[in-house]
Amino acid sequence: MEKSELFPVDQEDIDAFWRDGAVVLRGVLNEHWRRELADGITLNLVQPTSRRVDWVRDETTGDHLFHDQLTVAHNPHYERCMLASPLGPLAARFMASPTALAFYATVFVRSPGTRSRTPWHQDQTYWCADGRQALSIWTALDPVPAGTELEFVRGSHLWEKPLAQTNFDEQNLGGEREIEDIDFMPMPDFSGADRDRFEFLGWPMEPGDVLVFHGMTVHGGSGDLPAGLQRRSISTQWLGPDARVTDRPGGCNPDWLPELAQNGIGLGDYPACAMCPTITAEGTILP
Ligand SMILES: O=C(O)CCC(=O)C(=O)O
């Protein structure tokens, strides 16, 4: 792996990303990369990490929602895709940065027909890193029909206060998370009574399409699947040079601080290290 592939980016999409907090790009991952990710998921399901949770597991209906979070070293297929597919250079271009740091990957696998919506949240308020140059690139290996899309609250990455946090534990998915010392914005009822107060973005997608969204963009709501349709989705997390490692009053999720410390990275550092490799906007993978 010497170079990442490149995918052409329109300035209009970059402008929309900074204005709205999320954009869809069509046809970014070709069949080769989709197969690589599918192989990664097959391996991940039989070799989960210690961070794996099953948000849904119903032996009667067969419904299963598997979730894991991994840095590149955990899975050679995800590693190849994060380093050599167009994702890294795209992340750098969207962050208006010469480089993108491959922070980690998040995996969601819903068995066919599983009905479990992702709670509304902002990723970055859980991360052990902060910065304006911070985004995720989400993709699904299965079609995403209308009504099951991941939704984004338009412009929410620019809100002054962070959104109240949701519980992502296996036992209490979506429950309120009590954290002192943070001036949170109370959680609106985005799916119900407060829906008219906000503007939402969401796109039906085909395999190979990707969503690029800012680390502070509020999102959720996806995943009430029709019978027979599965969803294997991967969200890759990227940081730019203004990002710094941080701790959070309520703890981080995922908490990479111990692993970063083993790589010589502490609070306040930019986390460039063997665990989080860097790719340039031109596709060079830095040693
Ligand atoms: O795929 C999903 O249901 C949730 C995705 C998500 O929350 C994320 O990528 O941060």
In this structure, are residues 92 and 281 in contact, taking their beta carbons and an 8 Å threshold?
yes
pLDDT tens, 8-45? 999 999 999 999 999 999 999 999 999 999 999 999 99
Q: Does pLDDT of 150 surpass 80?
A: yes
Partners of 201 in beta bridges: 152
108 Cβ inside 6 Å of ligand 1: yes
Distance 188 CA to ligand 1 centre (A): 19
To which residue do tokens 């412009």 refer?
Answer: 155
Is residue 3 in some structural domain? no
Whole-number average pLDDT of the chain: 94
Is residue 88 in some structural domain? yes
Domain of residue 239 covers 11-280
Partners of 25 in beta bridges: 210
Interior/surface letters 193-203, b for 16+ CB within 10 angstroms, e for the rest: eeeeeeebbbb
Residue 181: per-residue pLDDT? 67
Give the list of residues 6+ apart from residue 257 with CB closer than 8 angstroms, or none.
Answer: 128, 245, 247, 267
- Determine the Cα–Cα distance for residues 224 and 222; give it in Å rounded to an integer: 6
Distance 201 CA to ligand 1 centre (A): 14
**Mutation test of ligand 1: which of 41, 64, 124, 150 has the most ligand atoms closer than 8 Å to its C-beta?**
150
Distance 118 CA to ligand 1 centre (A): 7
> How confident is residue 164, by pLDDT bands cut at 50, 70 and 90?
confident
pLDDT tens, 232-248? 999 999 999 999 999 99
The predicted model gives 171-179 an average pLDDT of: 69
Phi, psi (degrees; rounded to nearest 5) at 263: -95, 15
**Mutation test of ligand 1: which of 56, 106, 107 has the most ligand atoms closer than 8 Å to its C-beta?**
106
235 Cβ inside 6 Å of ligand 1: yes
In this structure, what is the dihedral angle of CA atoms 112, 224, 90, 33, given to the nearest 10 degrees? 10
Is residue 1 in some structural domain? no
Is residue 108 in some structural domain? yes
Distance 12 CA to ligand 1 centre (A): 24
Q: Does pLDDT of 167 surpass 90?
A: no
Is residue 287 in some structural domain? no
Is residue 200 in some structural domain? yes
Q: What is the CATH number of the domain that holds 149?
A: 2.60.120.620
- Determine the Cα–Cα distance for residues 88 and 133; give it in Å rounded to an integer: 13
Phi, psi (degrees; rounded to nearest 5) at 236: -105, 140
Is residue 5 in some structural domain? no
Start-to-end C-alpha separation, the chain: 11
Instruction: State the pTM of this model.
Output: 0.96
Interior/surface letters 32-61, b for 16+ CB within 10 angstroms, e for the rest: ebbebbbbbbeebeeebeebbbebbeeeee
Burial class (CB in 10 A: 0-12, 13-18, 19+), 254: buried
- Which range, 161-165, 176-180, 264-268, is most confident? 264-268
Please state, as a whole number, how many other Cβ atoms lie within 10 Å of the Cβ of residue 191: 14
- Determine the Cα–Cα distance for residues 145 and 79; give it in Å rounded to an integer: 28
In this structure, are residues 82 and 88 in contact, taking their beta carbons and an 8 Å threshold?
yes
Identify the CA nearest to 71 among candidates 122, 128, 119, 121: 128
Distance 135 CA to ligand 1 centre (A): 12
Which of ligand 1's atoms lies nearest the C-alpha of 222?
Answer: 3
Both structure tokens of 161? 């206060």
236 Cβ inside 6 Å of ligand 1: no
Is residue 256 in some structural domain? yes
Total count of domains within the chain:
1
Distance 98 CA to ligand 1 centre (A): 26
